[in-house]
Structure 1
Amino acid sequence: MFGFDALAAFTHHVETAFDQVRRGDVAPTVELIAVALQAQDFMRVLIENPGCIDVGDGALLLSALGQAVGAGASATGAPPPAAATDTPSRWRIRMRLPRDVMATGTNPLLLLDELCALGPAVVTASTDHIPPLAEIDPTGCYIGWEVRLTTSQPLSAIEDVFVFVRDEMALDIERIECPEPAEPSAEVTPEASCSIVPAAPAAGADAAAPRIDPPRTEPPNTEARPRAAATPKPAGETAEPGEGARAPREVRSGASVRVPAERLDELMDRVGELVIAQSRLRQIATSNADQQVSAVAEEIERLVLELRDTTMGIRMVPIGSLFGRFRRVVHDLSHDLGKEVALAMEGEETELDKTVIEQLNDPVVHLIRNAIDHGLEDPAARLAAGKPRVGRILLAARHAGTEVLITVRDDGRGLDRERIRARAVQRGLLPATGEIADAELFQVLFEPGFSTAETVTSLSGRGVGMDVVKRTIEALRSKIDVVSPPGQGTAVTLRLPLTLAIIDGLLVRVGRGRYVLPLGAVEECVELTAADDLRSRGRSFLNIRDELVPFLRLRELFAVNTPAEEFQKVVIVSAGDLKVGLVVDQVIGDHQTVIKSLSKLHADIEMFSGATILGDGTVAMILDVPHLVEFGQLAEERLKAAG
């Protein structure tokens, strides 16, 4: 259609091979998949840079494809596809396309032209499904066709005509063993296009004619399946009273509209500014005794909240759209490294903000490369260790409060702690003596230039991959957890925020400053009594329902000099399975928080993940809960070590 003749000629053979796989005539072998992936790369170059293509490369690929198809046909026990013969055969082809076929870009006349190009043909139109004039949709296809074709081409050539619409149409291809003489007036020479013979519907034609399903809203199923017949509206039935010359079209519930991503970003920015303006209006209404103003402010707050949720929902994308990209990565790496690897995925339906997903491709690619190159053993070593010959890479995603956890796990040899520490000591990243926790030791893997590989290869040894992971994840205000039981593989977990735009927050006051805590991380709020305050001096723990929870005094952390409130509050926050209490002077209430990124000058301040603008125009810092929880846990460990 667009003049890519070389691409069309090459792709036709690949489509034929996959059609044979779909029909079950050819088994999907490893060799066939490998050639198909190479063909995909070749087709991409044919589109993007056709001038640099060597014609011989395409011929070699098609030759390899033919060998793979032949091997696949032998595996299924099916005979190889028939080739064109000198003896022509006669075929009867009955076809009826879906009602909305033209709306999806298919021209039925082009299909008929392709059939006629195979040999002399007689085409008869079937008009028995055409409804009364008042019910006709001008964009609908109501006509079916019967084609009597004489051709030397095999059955596969006829089926190839319908390769893009076969799953949605009613199609019956029948070989006529005893050729029936055609009327002289209907005979067509190969140079002619087609003879189209309209036919009036015979009695009982509705029962015998092929029928099609009504328009579907779900995606078509590519597997073979029986097609249910839809009973057409009787021809004698008239339109309802009051109907015009055309009945209203059915609106599809699954209809969608493509919108540029930039417009979604602009919409989210406008919603964020609207949230800030609504916060200011609420503050004015709170100080105003006018009930009408308060009622309007509450109504606007409700509408803004709904608009915010709807806009954020538009930006949420299933993470399966990211995971699907890595099948090819695993396939190619396992082939290059001579390892057998199976990729498994969990939680593909987990949704994440599109702006976060867009930045995750490179980090996850590096984690998968490391898992296959460094983590998984070769087949012989795995068998010697009592493991399955095929290594396993798991990509998993799940929600955890306000975070999405993405885990890349392998079942390989695990991390070599001694080797990592020796290389870290050599580079001056860790002291040579003393105990080091695994969490601290594994973090050196993300230092720039750090690598335990003895030799530099095309895949590893330069120490740049994990550094990319760390920088990208830190830019997303996230953190990385590494767990590696000896000999049982390694799991790297990325803790990502659900969105980078707007969150529900809890507004608190410490001294004269106001701060925001992500509401999803808040477990509960309790009062710090004077007795608890005195008792906790030196050992900052609270007894919450017989559970000791360490807490941090934000006044001390932020060096606040103003006198403390008489009745301080403790906000219990969590990150994963860990909890910590944060002592504040006042809990102000919930707050819709528009996240504003900090400048590069403040990138090293780990206690804050961003800032927001309050209704009165002042700035409130957003506390980084995972960092504060980690800080609290370290404080707890130091107290335990001190006795």
Structure 2
Amino acid sequence: MSNIDPTEVFRQEAADLIETLEQALLDLETRPDDRELVGLAFRALHTLKGSGAMFGFTAVSEFIHEFETAFDRVRKGEAAVDGRLIAAALDARDHVSRLIDDPDYDPERGQAILGALKIAVSGEAKASQVSEPLGTSSQPAPATSEAAAGWRIRFKLATDALTLGSNPLLLLDEMRGLGPCEIVADASAVPPLEEIEPQHSYLAWDVTLKGPVEREAVDDVFLFVRDDMELTIEPLAGDDDVGPAPVAAVQAPLPAPPKAETTSTAEQQETGPVAAEPRAAAAQPAATTKAERNATLRVPAERLDELMDRVGELVIAQARLSQLAETIHDPSLVNVAEEIERLTSSLRDTTMGTRMVPFGSLFGRFRRLVRDLSEDLGKPIDFVTEGEDTELDKTVIEQLADPLVHIIRNSIDHGLERPDTRAELGKNPAGTLRLSAKHRGAEVAIAIRDDGAGLNAERIRRRAEEAGLISAGQSVADGELYRMIFQPGFSTATQVTALSGRGVGMDVVKRTIDGLRGSIDIDTVSGQGTTVTLRLPLTLAIIDGLLVRVGADRYTIPLAAVEECVELPEGIDAEARGRSFINLRGELVPFLKLRSLFGAENEPDRFQKVVVVSSENTRVGLVVDQIIGNNQTVIKQLSSLHSGLKTFSGATILGDGTVALILDVMHLVGFGQKIEERRRAETLEKAA
């Protein structure tokens, strides 16, 4: 028995529709003449209204009905899209979101928003807008294709329509709202009483709708149920003997064909060559939309997490089987182990793919944030996004929203200058904020870049000294100084505002990124802007790893970070402390000796190996005693007692049951560089 809460299903679907509505409205602000965007926003509203009524969200449905009525004037070309309309529509969108959570939320506020919407669409229609219907070209269309003297409509819902929440009485009420109706119920398909299923739909309805009603308005009545019902719509011939319109009839057979091409062919056979072409054009988008809708299955995140855990355990068991097969040397067992390894690898990749989410799913919500901050602060902003298709683990995506909000707010409030100041400096009065994401080896780099004034190092230093973070006159590298802004309670704002000044927010960013095993880099140029780069691991579950041995211990290096493996040339002291360089095809590559960093005590191997990895924009070699081979690595989180070991991102269980630590290449390289700098400083002090 299913325990899915229908209201929760509605809330999830409503969230997607509200997001679609918001993006359409934001796009309309820059492209007010785009009729497709108008249609997209209207369809989102219409779907929300119908779904709200179906699931018992009456307040939502009633509010959206008024919202939709106002926006329908835009769709019909009777009102123009301008800033006032977009602002009112966005307020209405926010009110719908609140009504879903609380049906009794501030009804007076809702009425005020609807009043603002009505005022925004009350202007006179432009002749060009009235004459050009939605979705058509600039060529005039025949009047009979848009409206007729009336319509003759016959429909019969699918047998299970009542079980799924459809109500034919609501459809009839909507048609009555379009004009005078004559409605006749056809009970010819009702079976004998003893055979009736109470939840099945048997009636068909014949409706004569009179008056100059547009065909599109009739189609909208059946928007939610059209694919699964029998439906015929024909123009009604009036006293002036209106002939058949170019779109003579539409029938949605039950069940609907899965492909648009099949639907078009069937309709050509039923209606003849004259009506086939326009009807095929109308049927194809609907069929395509249904195919796309059916191609997606909504699954609770908890199930994906559980599936990921099971795959991880399978990977560990497969590694044990492979090692056992190598030990026994049974050809049959080796073949089975190899086949299971292949299937496990495929299953792992497929499961990982279900967890990966495009970063563009976050971009939409930031557009609204930037727009609102731009209006509140009086700073015109060009918001540019790049790398929308870059994929990241859903766990990471979910936790990134708040940190990015804080960084974007800081960039706009502190970084970007006011328009008059920018003009005096010879800059474009409109500031630019760029949000980008790209893959770099085994990590994803997310950059937030503005072209503002840059960080004020002197002010940061002064506040850091006042807070006791550094002593007066202490020598601090610029990078370390800029990272002071992530300290709890740290702020350079001269006064407290609604956006900044209390020193909370950026420390949240630091804690969240540290929790995701990531890092933060800050690059700033005075007068030119600041770039904050977040570097995060691609996944938190399973990776391909390169197993190496250092001394008596084994470690795993993420394979995505590995570029090549070479032998350490003779003549280089393998036990030399610190960092040295190796010549790779004419390029000097620094390398770190892991034996020295990890304090290995036994004798080093005679022929040591160098694993060249990419970290940020540099290449670094890691010297190891032996390269054992690559394997699928299931990441197990370290305990809270070891959370401070930033050089390790976790641990994994090997095929023989032992544990190998997973190296965090990015932190390891930084750790090695700090050790080298400290040793150099000690050497200089001794020399002095």
Does the pair score TM above 0.5?
yes
Equivalent position to 1:9, from 62, 75, 80: 62
Separation in 1, partners of 2:523, 2:615: 17
Percent identical among aligned pairs is: 54
2 CA distance for matches of 1:490 and 1:145?
66
- Choose between structure 1 and 2 for higher RCO, CA contacts under 8 A separated by at least 6 residues: 1
Against the structure 1 CA distance between its residues 570 and 395, is the aligned structure 2 distance closer, same or farther, given a 3 Å change threshold?
A: same
Q: 1:464 to 1:112 in 2, by over 3 A?
A: same
Q: Which amino acid aligns with 2:70?
A: A
Aligned residue among 40, 64, 75 for 2:93? 40
1:556 alignment counterpart: 596
- The 1-side partners of 2:268 and 2:222 are apart by 30
What's the offset of the Cα at 1:313? Answer: 0.6
Corresponding residue for residue 246 of structure 1: none
Query: Is this contact kept in 2: 1:580–1:632, CA < 8 A?
Result: no
Instruction: Provide the residue aligned with 2:47 in structure 1.
Output: none
**Could you state the TM-score of these two structures normalised by the residue count of structure 1?**
0.79
The equivalent residue for 2:71 is: 18
2:127 maps to 1:92: no
Q: Select 2:180's aligned residue among 94, 107, 120.
A: 120
| Structure-1 residue corresponding to 2:386 | 346
Task: Please report the RMSD computed on the Cα atoms of aligned residues, expressed in angstroms.
Answer: 4.2
Whole-Å separation in 1 of the counterparts to 2:247 and 2:475: 83
Give a deviation string over 1:231-250, Cα, whole Å, max 9, x none: 537479xxxxxxxxxxxxx9
Gaps of 5+ in 1: 82-88, 126-138, 182-201, 219-227, 237-249
Alpha carbons of 1:633 and 1:411: their partners in 2 closer, same or farther (altered >3 Å)?
A: same
Which residue, out of 116, 119, 123, partners 1:64? Answer: 116
C-alpha distance in structure 2 between counterparts of 1:386 and 1:409, whole Å: 19
SS in 2 for 1:348: coil
Provide the C-alpha distance between the structure 2 equivalents of 1:550 and 1:50, rounded to a whole number of angstroms: 63
**Is the alpha carbon distance of 1:62 and 1:271 closer, same or farther for their aligned partners in structure 2, counting shifts above 3 Å?**
same
Partners in 1 of 2:654 and 2:70 — Cα distance? 62
Q: Does 2:342 match 1:302?
A: yes
- What displacement does 1:334 show? 2.2
- Residue 338 of structure 1, CA deviation: 2.5
Are the equivalent residues in 1 in contact too, given 2:554–2:660 (CA < 8 A)?
A: yes
**Corresponding residue number in structure 1 for 2:210:** 149
Choose which of 223, 242, 267 in structure 2 pairs with 1:232: 267
Deviations 1:460-495 (A, max 9, x none): 112121100010001110111111122122111111
Q: 2:441 aligns with which of 368, 382, 401?
A: 401
**DSSP 3-state at the match of 2:434:** strand
One-letter code aligned to 1:57: R
3-state SS in 2 of match to 1:267: helix
Q: Which amino acid aligns with 1:232?
A: E
CA–CA separation in structure 1 for the residues paired with 2:367 and 2:156: 34
Query: What does residue 136 of structure 1 align with?
Result: none
For residue 118 of structure 2, what is the amino acid of its counterpart? G
Deviation of 1:71 after TM superposition, in Å, equals 4.8
Indicate which of 421, 429, 444 corresponds to 2:461. 421
* Residue in 2 that maps onto 1:185: none
Please state how far the C-alpha of 1:510 moved relative to its aligned partner: 0.8
Matched residue SS, 1:232: helix
Aligned-partner Cα distance in 1 for 2:457–2:591: 32
> What is residue 470 of structure 1 aligned with on the other side?
510
* Cα 1:235–1:465 shift into 2, 3 Å: closer
Q: 1:13-45: CA deviations, max 9, x gaps?
A: 211233333444433322212212221222233
CA distance in structure 1 between the partners assigned to 2:387 and 2:378 by the alignment: 29
Quote the Cα distance in structure 2 between the aligned partners of 1:633 and 1:32: 56
Looking at structure 2, the residues matched to 413 and 74 of structure 1 have their Cα atoms a distance apart, in angstroms, of 44
Determine the C-alpha separation between the residues in 2 that align with 1:98 and 1:584: 74
Which residue identity lines up with residue 91 of structure 2 in the other structure?
A: Q
User: How many angstroms does 1:602 deviate by?
Assistant: 1.0
Deviations 1:406-452 (A, max 9, x none): 12222221111221122223323235446543322221111111111
User: C-alpha distance in 1, partners of 2:434/2:72?
Assistant: 31
Per the TM alignment, residue 343 of structure 1 is displaced from its structure 2 partner at its CA by 2.3
Partner-residue secondary structure (3-state), 2:599: coil
Q: Which residue in the other structure is 2:277 paired with? A: none
Which residue in 1 is equivalent to 2:573? Answer: 533
Aligned to 1:70, what secondary structure does the other structure show? coil
The yes-or-no answer on 1:321 pairing with 2:374 is no
- Partner SS, residue 394 of structure 1: strand
Kept after mapping to 2: 8 A contact 1:480/1:494:
yes
Instruction: Confirm or deny that 1:518 pairs with 2:553.
Output: no
What SS does the aligned partner of 2:527 have? coil
Gap change, CA 1:395 and 1:91, over 3 Å in 2: farther
* 1:350–1:27 Cα change, 3 Å: farther
Q: 1:570 corresponds to which residue? A: 610
Q: How many residues align?
A: 577
